Amino acid sequence: MASHSHSLNYVGCNFLRQRLVLSTLSGRPVKIRKIRAKDDNPGLRDFEANFIRLIDKITNGSRIEINQTGTTLYYQPGLLCGGSLEHDCSPSRSIGYYLESLLCLAPFMKQSLRIVLRGVTNDQVDPSVDVLKATALPLLKIFGIDGEELELKITRRGMPPKGGGEVVFVCPVKKAVKPVQFTDPGKIKRIRGVAYSVRVSPQIANRIVDSARSILNKFLPDIYIYTDHMKGTSSGKSPGFGLSLVAETTNGAFLSAELVSNPQGEGVAVLPEDLGTDCAKLLLEEIYRGGCVDSTNQSLVLLLMTLGQQDVSKVLLGTLSPYRIEFLRHLRSYFQVMFKIEMKPSDEERKGGEKVLMTCVGTGFSNLSKTIK
């Protein structure tokens, strides 16, 4: 077979998740060299190793080879098997780090995935589970990945550094993905959010809500921010608080922003009021960037467009981040899919920044893992 000849080669640890996820979906082996080769602490970090372990868990027959120093990784993907699983995520990255990749892979498993992830639910680096729940799941629904099973439940919250949170992610299996044309985001009709606080005063959440509303009320009356104060075992191991905001448009686009307090023992203490206003401003920034998909889920939407039927998919996005640009390059090398990129300047002055219209023809991907009877 020609399976060895078409492996891809990369250098460096960045975009590791993208590479492994795309490798799994496209079935092409990948070799990543020089992972932090010049670093004082070379090789894969614990969270990366943890991620690889997770990939190993959800696939069957994949081959993973890591050299002794951990600077070279060879991954030959197997088939996604899914099922009922549990995984303890590394506390150095939040569950969002793992969940983002799982969102890409979960619809293409053999059995529907039901996974319990344990670790840090909200941190300052990665998108939190709240945001993913509010934005990524509706996005999957647009692509025809829906059903009652599609669910992301936060059973316990865990803040950095110790974590202790727990999330249940359930996703149904689909044979193929629908092409989408989502070029008109519509107008924002409501803003929702969650202000959470664990192991701190429950009053903090209310203070966050008030300050956030003070900013957002200038634009829209329909704002509701839930306060979520968790106690006891469901509050994790470290104290902290934060806010995640989601703006929903008339056409079903979701834009999100979030902010989390500094972890215990790191940095200066953050005032809940400041956090609320800052987060609200971040949401406004996100709205300024605009598009039909918020900046955290751009790669998910691009991936699902690529994996669609051999039809034209179109999505209007906000500014492309460097991470997405790299993702687009990866999509081309794995799937030979090139996007048509058209800049849409904001013709009207009051609708935020410029947008990018992404168009592509799907690869006609079909879920090869799913069993038919």
Partner 1 sequence: MVTPFSASAIVFLPLCGTNVAGLRFRTQDLKTKKHHIPVVDRTPLEPPPVVVVVVGPPKVGKSTLIRCLIKNSTRQKLVEIRGPVTIVSGKKRRLTIIECGCDINTMIDLAKVADLVLMLIDASFGFEMETFEFLNICQIHGFPKIMGVLTHLDTLKNNKQLKKTKKRLKHRFWTEVYQGAKLFYLSGMVHGEYQKQEIHNLGRFISVMKFRPLTWQTSHPYVLADRMEDLTNPEDVRVNPKCDRKVSLYGYLRGAYLKNKSQIHIPGVGDFTVSDVAFLPDPCALPDHQKKRSLNEKEKLIYAPLSGVGGLVYDKDAVYIDLGGSHARQEREEEARPNHELVQSLISAHSTIDAKMASSRVSLFMDSKPLGTEDVENETLFTVPKEEKKMDTRTGRMRRKAVFEDEDGEDGESEEEEEEEEMSMDENGEESDSEEEEEARGEQGGQDLLGQELVLRTCKRLRKATAQATPGELPAFADSDDDLEMSSGDEREAVLEEHMEDAAGEGQTSEEEGGGLVEDSDTEESSGENVPESQAQRIGNKDPELKSMTEEEDVEGLLKEEEDYKEASDFSVDTAGALKWKEDLTQKAAEAFLRQQQSAPSLRKLIYGTVAEDEEDEGKAGGELGGLFRVSRPDKESKRKADALDCSKFPVEAPKDWDLDEVMDSIRDCFVTGNWEADKDAAKLLKDDELYGDFEDLETGTVHKGRPDDQGDEAGSGEEKEAGGGKGTEEAEEKQQQQRMDKKRKLKEMFDAEYDEGDATYFDDLKGEMLRQAQLNRAEFEDQDDETRVQYEGFRPGMYIRVEIEGVPCELVLNFDPHYPVILGGLGNTEGNVGYVQMRLKKHRWYKKILKTRDPLILSLGWRRFQTIPMYYIEDHNGRHRLLKYTPQHMHCGASFWGPITPQGTGCLAIQSVSGTTPDFRIAATGVVLDLDKSIKVVKKLKLIGFPFKIYKNTAFIKGMFTSVLEVARFEGAALRTVSGIRGQIKKALRTPEGAFRATFEDKLLMSDIVFMRTWYPVSLPTFYNPVTSLLKPVGEKDSWTGMKTTGQLRREKGIRLKQNKDSLYKIAALLTALGTVHKHKLKKAKANHRQQVKEHLKVKQKEEEAKLKRQKEAKKKLYRIIGQREKKRQKSSLKGSAGRE
Give the H/E segment covering residue 30.
Answer: strand 30-33
Which two structure tokens, joined as six digits, stand for 317? 């996005």
What does the DSSP assignment read for 167-227?
Answer: EEEEE---S-B---EE-----EEEEEEEEEEESS-THHHHHHHHHHHHHHTTT-S-EEEEE
Contact flags string 82-101 toward partner 1, x per CB under 8 A: ---------------x--x-
Helical segments of the chain, H only: 16-26, 46-58, 95-105, 129-142, 203-216, 272-289, 298-306, 322-335
The residues near 162 (Cβ < 8 Å, ≥ 6 apart) are: 91, 236, 237, 238
309 binds partner 1 (CB under 8 A): yes
Between 187 and 203, name the residue whose CB sits nearer to partner 1: 187
233 binds partner 1 (CB under 8 A): no
Residue list 244-283, contact with partner 1 (CB under 8 A): 250, 280-282
- Out of 84, 203, 251, 310, the only residue in the binding site for partner 1 (CB under 8 A) is 310
Between 34 and 153, name the residue whose CB sits nearer to partner 1: 34
Find where tokens 């647009």 sit. Answer: 142
Strand pairing category for 111-119 and 82-88: parallel
343 binds partner 1 (CB under 8 A): yes
CB atoms within 10 A of CB 289: 19
148 binds partner 1 (CB under 8 A): no
| Torsion sign, CA atoms 254, 255, 261, 262 | positive
DSSP label at residue 352: -
Total of chain residues touching partner 1, rule CB under 8 A: 109
- Out of 88, 219, 270, 271, the only residue in the binding site for partner 1 (CB under 8 A) is 219
Least Å from the CB of residue 202 to partner 1: 28
Least Å from the CB of residue 371 to partner 1: 4
Residue list 37-76, contact with partner 1 (CB under 8 A): 38-39, 48, 60-62
Residue list 13-42, contact with partner 1 (CB under 8 A): 13-17, 25-28, 34-36, 38-39
Contact flags string 127-146 toward partner 1, x per CB under 8 A: x-------------------
- Out of 56, 88, 210, 354, the only residue in the binding site for partner 1 (CB under 8 A) is 354
- Out of 41, 148, 266, 322, the only residue in the binding site for partner 1 (CB under 8 A) is 322
111 binds partner 1 (CB under 8 A): no
Between 111 and 155, name the residue whose CB sits nearer to partner 1: 111
Contact 326/18 with Cβ under 8 angstroms? yes
Residue list 178-217, contact with partner 1 (CB under 8 A): 179, 181, 187-189, 215
173 binds partner 1 (CB under 8 A): no
Which two structure tokens, joined as six digits, stand for 282? 């971040």
Contact 51/134 with Cβ under 8 angstroms? no
